[in-house]
Structure 1
Amino acid sequence: MEQVSLKEAIELTGLREQERSGPLYKHLASVLKKLIQQDVLPAGSALPPERELAEMLDIGRVTVRSAYKILADQRLIETRHGSGRYIAERPARISQPLWKLTSFSQAILARGKQPEAKTLDIKIDYPSADEAQILQIERSAQIVRLHRLRLVDQMPLALEWAVVPRHYLGDELDNIRSLYKAFMAQGYEPVRAQQRFQAVALDTKNARLLKTPPNAPALLIERVSYLATGEVVELTRTMYRGDAYDFVAELSIGEHHDR
């Protein structure tokens, strides 16, 4: 964006009128954040250096520096050493229908994007009492715990914690890219699932992995998947970035309803 255009965009937000209600640097950060969210400042574009923006807006350089720090803390901008500050890349929003059972990889590939899974932890363990009840197995039965970071076009989108009865997976646990493909390779095909949704705020650790600010909104989904026999094949909890993933439900009126 040209600097004159940026100046006009900032001033159109009424930056000056807001000065009396709080520190100017906070209002400047809020204005810049809004311009980023509206793609007036698109991902990858450069921000003016502190001195230039300060002179452009006739404000103090410290004010600009403080505003930039807020945006950096919120992971909205990034510093490239020797190059300056840039608008951080953001994942494109992904929509997934709720009426169809698909894996993460299938849903992403269907949209022409590239899914990726980074294993953060994997181990053979034994289920808790609650897990054993959900999975319909004994406490003495072995399970596989799998913790992964899910990415789309190299951008982090979700964190996944999966608990799977050991006998549904092969021996090559370290090479799992898609759980559903791993199930199919062993002759098991999930045919239905139940999901629970919960709005949550990301703690510091998970926010860092997903490259979002701490306390950013996320959607936690618990999925229990079943085979045609009724056996439970997986219990998965997935935490999706709230700014990048949409779930779409199609509703219809039943046969008996009040008009």
Structure 2
Amino acid sequence: MTMKKYLYETMADCITQKINEDIWPVGMKLPGEKELTALLGGGRSTVREALDLCVERGLLQKKNGVGTFVVSKSVTLNNPLEQLNSVGDMIKAAGCEPESVHYSIRHCLPDRSIRDEFGLGKDELIVVMSRGRVANRMPVAFSVNVFPEKYVGDIFDEGIRGKIFDNLKGYADIDIRYSDTKIRGINPEHRWDRMACDFLKSPAVLLQQLHFDKNGEKIFYSYDYFNTDVMDLNMRRKM
């Protein structure tokens, strides 16, 4: 009994080392039990116990019918929905440093729904900015922001530092005060939803937000996709 426990703990330590050394990176699907027994030694029952121990350590997650995946041990983001916070602030609140690993910007004509929402003329352009954020090497958020070009011009063309809200205030004298927010599931037929899923590689939830300035003018849309493996979104509802 003691020997068996020692064996699965040693096996779990081996798995932990592979994860810590990034040999098995965050998001990777582990090989099947048969391959793991050949790789690590021991029987299948020992492999199962080692995997269970790594799940308890917060290093692995088992998804029924899909497999076992490497996850980040130290990232758990808890954000109350009643507060209007930037994605970066939400990550920092968990004691982690957000890092942008994807950034793109384009100026284009809007579709009819966006044009009507912002009251744009048929030749007026929008600016579409997309960003992917990680924390502790794990993808945690993917955002698409849509601005009428008349509000932001080219201020984001060379990238962005800090919060969108601060950039709007500093460069365009726009003061965001509140947003109307919808919580939505993922639609695989929507291009941005597919982009988010490809980046996050995990279950996700979408916050679709329309942001207003101090005068009640509609300024921009944000589509924020959050990795629900590490992001807890909550709100308090009262009678």
Q: TM-score, normalised by structure 1?
A: 0.63
Rounded to whole Å, the distance in 2 between the matches of 1:151 and 1:161 is: 15
Identify if the C-alpha distance between structure 1 residues 53 and 154 changes in structure 2 by more than 3 Å, giving closer, same or farther.
Answer: closer
8 Å Cα contact 1:7-1:57 kept in structure 2:
no
Other-structure match for 1:179: 164
User: Is structure 2 residue 15 aligned with structure 1 residue 4?
Assistant: no
Deviation at 1:74, TM superposition (A): 5.2
Spell out the pairing of 1:23-38 with structure 2 (5 A cutoff): none
What SS is found at the alignment partner of 2:180?
Answer: strand
Tell me which moved more, 218-227 or 244-253. Answer: 244-253
Secondary structure at the residue paired with 2:186?
Answer: strand
* Residue number among 51, 54, 76 corresponding to 2:69 in the alignment: 76
1:161-214 residue CA offsets vs partner (Å, 9 max, x unmatched): 11111233253422213322221112111101011111237787644422x3xx
**Unaligned regions of 5+ residues in structure 2, if any?**
25-29, 47-61
Mapping for residues 198-209 of structure 1, pairs under 5 Å: 198-200=184-186, 206-209=196-199
Is it true that 1:249 corresponds to 2:235 in the alignment? yes
Equivalent pair of 1:98/1:248 in contact (CA under 8 Å):
yes
After superposition, the Cα gap between the structure-2 partners of 1:201 and 1:243, relative to the gap in structure 1 and judged at 3 Å, is farther
Cα drift, residue 231 of structure 1: 1.0
- Over 3 Å counting, the alpha-carbon distance change for 1:55 and 1:113 in structure 2 is closer
Task: Give secondary structure in 2 for the equivalent of 1:181.
Answer: helix
Counterpart among 148, 157, 160 of residue 131 in structure 2: 148
The answer to whether residue 110 in structure 2 is matched with residue 127 in structure 1 is yes
With normalisation by structure 2, the TM-score equals: 0.67
Q: Please report the RMSD computed on the Cα atoms of aligned residues, expressed in angstroms.
A: 3.9
Is residue 169 from structure 1 mapped to residue 156 from structure 2 by the alignment? no
The 3-state SS of whatever aligns with 2:165 is helix
Q: Which sections of structure 1, spanning at least 5 residues, go unmatched?
A: 10-34, 60-69, 78-87, 254-259
* Partner SS, residue 150 of structure 2: helix
Q: Does 1:223 align with 2:209?
A: yes
CA shift digits 1:62-116 (9 cap, x unpaired)? xxxxxxxx99x85714xxxxxxxxxx54561211111111211222233332122
1:109 aligns with 2:80: no
Q: SS of the counterpart of 1:55?
A: coil
Task: Tell me which structure has the larger Cα radius of gyration.
Answer: 1
How many aligned residue pairs are there?
Answer: 201
Structure 2: distance between partners of 1:7 and 1:105? 42
Secondary structure of the 2:222 match is strand
8 A Cα contact 1:136 1:231, kept in partner: no
What is the CA–CA distance in structure 1 between the aligned matches of 2:77 and 2:151, rounded to whole Å? 29
Q: Give 3-state SS (helix, strand or coil) of 1:171's partner.
A: coil
> Residues of 1 paired with 2:232 and 2:72: CA distance?
19
Q: How does 1:86-97 map to 2 (within 5 A)?
A: 89=72, 92-97=75-80
Change (3 A) 1:54 1:189: same
Q: Secondary structure at the match of 1:174?
A: coil
> Which stretch of the first structure deviates more once superposed, 103-112 or 92-101?
103-112
